[in-house]
Structure 1
């Protein structure tokens, strides 16, 4: 070996430990500046409430400010695209329904990012149920009466959702498919404005991701059924859609945190650990109870597997119903 090659070999050996130590050193130094959480839906919805319920205790755990920002639009694609194109350093996270990863590729033939390659799961946050709620003026008192009313009034009944392809929209499409009924869909830019119109009587019903439960308790809305395989602990007397005759009905979705694909595994592990601690805290459980959701601590790997299951499940529905992104 000549002297030049020998020097290169010696230099490579000298710097190798430094290269291996770099990711570990970065993880130990993380974080040293504020962390942004980009929410894919407008303020007031389930994703926004979950992000803010996690944000404050995560700030305390990390010792750095956690800033929540809303970037709504295209069923989460605007926020997803923004986060996917940020540096993979753990300082920009996405909070979204699982739909950004598991549903949107079925809705949008040409996306500006690939969720399966450009984003990585960090931590699940909550299993969000949807609740079939109707305006009190509708002459129905249970899910079976409601389905009969839909059949008797084809095209005359309206429902709202946070947008095309959102979990509340897909829940309604599930119901329509299984009951062979038709109702007019009115997409909104978020769950909160849809809920306001349901309360005001501008629309007749909605599969609510939990933000309207306070109005149910106040008698301003009728809760007819839960779109989950099991009854909600908060409303044990309210039947599931399955119990109302729609066998196998399951419109639950998993909301959680994602990061740019290049984020170091050690940083993802740190964030997963801290977020899972928060999900088990009494304060977070209480916040989720208020919207009828259930905390779901998971590893990043389990969260990714859940997204794949949902992709198959909802993808089949989207294809059968010919649902397109807005």
Structure 2
């Protein structure tokens, strides 16, 4: 979802009259980066103004989000948001530097992606059933990576642990790119991710499952 700081003044001049900053809350090379860069390029061509992609990861996506909230409410700083920034963090943290309902104004839905469970090929699993069996045989020995604490991938991993009564160690990262690198290097055995493009880019990883309506 794209969102901006809640406007507090009317824009008197034609928009946009200067460079626009798209803020993503995960590192360069991840799903947010892949999603926003083609959009930024096309908008820059259409508007004849620079559209800058600004990566501000960390703090369970709150660092980049807070930057947008604290920016002038003039529509020139836009947040490319996932569910973590605007919904999940509210129930995870007692104190947040911003109120997503009060401080952010939704602009449009950019897109949706189905969750995908990925695993290193050295792990002898080709399905969720086989992964569950291995985790039960080796409680606490397997780890799963997510793109950060409180993200949909983190919750999906914990739900899988509860549903199948298995013990796996959660390893949070600051985004998909560093998580994928460690899964490729076997530092983490499995990864819950949401970008189909990651499978095409990192062919050393095997897809164990996908979650879609069909």
Which stretches in structure 1 are left out of the alignment for 5+ residues? Answer: 1-21, 232-326
Distance 2:193 2:96 in 1: 27
Deviation, structure 1 residue 121: 0.7
Deviation, structure 1 residue 62: 2.1
TM-score by length of 2: 0.90
Structure with the largest fraction of helix: 1
Aligned residues: 205
Deviation, structure 1 residue 144: 1.1
Rate the CA distance shift 1:144–1:48 in 2: closer, same or farther, 3 A: same
Aligned with residue 221 of structure 1, among 159, 180, 205: 205
Find runs of 4+ consecutive structure 1 residues off by over 4 angstroms: none
2:172 corresponds to which residue? 187
SS in 2 for 1:80: helix
Correspondence 1:90 to 2:75: yes
Q: What is the correspondence of 1:286-325 to structure 2 with a 5 Å cutoff?
A: none
Structure label with greater radius of gyration: 1
Are the equivalent residues in 2 in contact too, given 1:41–1:190 (CA < 8 A)? yes
TM-score by length of 1: 0.60
Distance 1:141 1:64 in 2: 47
Which stretches in structure 2 are left out of the alignment for 5+ residues? Answer: 1-8
Aligned with residue 132 of structure 2, among 147, 150, 154: 147
CA RMSD in angstroms, aligned pairs only: 1.7
Rate the CA distance shift 1:102–1:140 in 2: closer, same or farther, 3 A: same
Deviation, structure 1 residue 215: 5.1
Deviation, structure 1 residue 150: 1.4
SS in 2 for 1:159: strand
Are the equivalent residues in 2 in contact too, given 1:37–1:92 (CA < 8 A)? yes
Distance 2:127 2:14 in 1: 56
Deviation, structure 1 residue 209: 2.2
Are the equivalent residues in 2 in contact too, given 1:215–1:221 (CA < 8 A)? no
